[in-house]
Amino acid sequence: MSMASPPLSAAEILSLFRSLLRVARQFPDYNIREYTKRRTIDAFRQNAALSDPPSISHAFSHGNSQLQLAKRQAIVYSLYAPQLPSVMDIHKPQHRPS
């Protein structure tokens, strides 16, 4: 007889979402950082319609594995980060008309 896992709470799912977005901010490269954010948001939107507990549990465990992968990749990318910032990371000063 297998023990059923308790249903996931909305707080746990939201915590996973926030963790993935936090890890995305750690990527030094603009393109990778934005791709990771966009992919996280898209995946959560795609899975928002899930209603049966096994599907939700499977999506949550997949999200956790993606979080661990993203953490490892952020470390690797930070080791080989380019010395110059990306053009997209450079903030232009606001031009004020005189």
Q: How confident is the model at residue 5 (pLDDT cuts 50, 70, 90)?
A: low
| The model scores a pTM over 0.75 | yes
pLDDT beyond 50 at 49: yes
Residue in 45, 39, 31 with CA at minimum distance from that of residue 69: 39
Mean pLDDT for the stretch of residues 19-35: 93
Which distant-in-sequence residues (6+ apart) come within 8 Å of 65 by Cβ? none
Residue 56 or residue 2, greater confidence: 56
pLDDT of 95 = 63
